[in-house]
Amino acid sequence: MRKHAADPQVRDYEMMLVVAPTVTEEGLQQVVDRISGYITAQNGTVDSTNSQNPWGRRRLAYPIRDFNDAFYALYRFHATSDAIDELERDLR
């Protein structure tokens, strides 16, 4: 994690989101956008999201909720540790 010079409380984060394979392409984009909204609502800044190549739909190492594969989305963003606590609550 790297601290930012402008605000030492802000750090760089990466988050991997795993989405059920039953979601459509449009539904996946809506989920990705909604999670980006959670990050920005906590005054975070989303640098990038990648839900296509090389991630996209992949086989899981073990079944989760009876699914053997899922969509993966990788987020890179900046936020404070307080924002991360709130983001965790929002994601549950």
Residue 75: other Cβ atoms inside 10 A: 20
Q: What is the pLDDT of residues 13-42, one digit of tens each?
A: 999 999 999 998 889 889 999 999 999 998
| Domains present along the chain, CATH in parentheses | 10-82 (3.30.70.60)
In terms of Cα–Cα distance, which of 10, 2, 91 is closest to 73? Answer: 91
pTM summary value = 0.79
Burial class (CB in 10 A: 0-12, 13-18, 19+), 2: exposed
Q: What is the pLDDT of residues 53-91, one digit of tens each?
A: 668 889 999 999 999 999 999 999 999 988 898 888 888
In terms of Cα–Cα distance, which of 62, 91, 58 is closest to 72? Answer: 58
Query: Vertex 44, ends 76 and 24: CA angle to 5°?
Result: 55
